[in-house]
């Protein structure tokens, strides 16, 4: 029986890793927003500065209709080592059933070694709105208009 939660949402995971003891993604604290995703590599992966690697997690997930899975970097790894998710946030659509892969990039100055079981990213589930898409001749005017990329000032 699935555990109770406020959202009434159930997230189903399928083990892809051949290791029958590979742990289910889990929250790192009582009020964490994201489930920790671990590296399911069979041997260490060395990432030189600037290198990108696709790291398996050992799990596939069924995100419920009307939601998306957002793969986000872990802040400590990003700050201390420069290791982050290159396409952050990565999106897991409700109809994707393949293994969750982490596209990791080393933005730091030193080589980073990813080992089996390292917590690399987190999975946050969010509601998705799918609006009707319309082509129009004009958009409503605003004070900002088409100004972008710093047009509202610095700081």
Task: List, in order of start, the domains of the chain with CATH numbers.
Answer: 30-127 (2.70.40.10)
Phi, psi of 150, rounded to the nearest 5 degrees? 95, 5
Model confidence over 30-69: pLDDT tens digits?
999 999 999 999 999 999 999 999 999 999 999 999 999 9
Instruction: Strand 119-127: give its sheet, edge to edge.
Output: 26-27, 35-38, 119-127, 67-73, 90-92
Q: Which of 94, 111, 125, 99 is nearest to 38 (CA)?
A: 99
Model confidence over 98-112: pLDDT tens digits?
999 999 999 999 999
pLDDT for the residue numbered 6: 62
Contact criterion met (CB below 8 Å) for 51 and 110: no
Q: Any alpha helices (H) in 1-155, and if so which ranges?
A: 75-81
pLDDT for the residue numbered 155: 64
> Does residue 122 have a pLDDT over 60?
yes
């Amino acid at each position: 029986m699935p555990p109770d939660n406020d959202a009434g949402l159930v997230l189903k995971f399928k083990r892809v890793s051949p290791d029958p003891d590979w742990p289910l993604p889990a929250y790192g604290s009582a009020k964490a927003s994201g489930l920790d995703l671990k590296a399911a590599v069979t041997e260490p992966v060395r990432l030189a500065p600037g290198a990108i690697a696709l790291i398996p997690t050992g799990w596939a997930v069924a995100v419920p209709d009307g939601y998306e899975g957002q793969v986000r970097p872990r802040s400590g790894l990003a700050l201390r080592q420069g290791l982050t998710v290159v396409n952050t946030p990565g999106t897991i659509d409700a109809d994707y059933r393949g293994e969750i892969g982490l596209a990791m990039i080393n933005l730091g100055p030193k080589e980073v070694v990813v080992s089996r079981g390292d917590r690399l990213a987190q999975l946050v589930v969010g509601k998705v709105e799918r609006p009707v898409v319309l082509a129009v001749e004009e958009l409503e005017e605003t004070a900002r208009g088409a100004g972008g990329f710093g047009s509202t000032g610095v700081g």
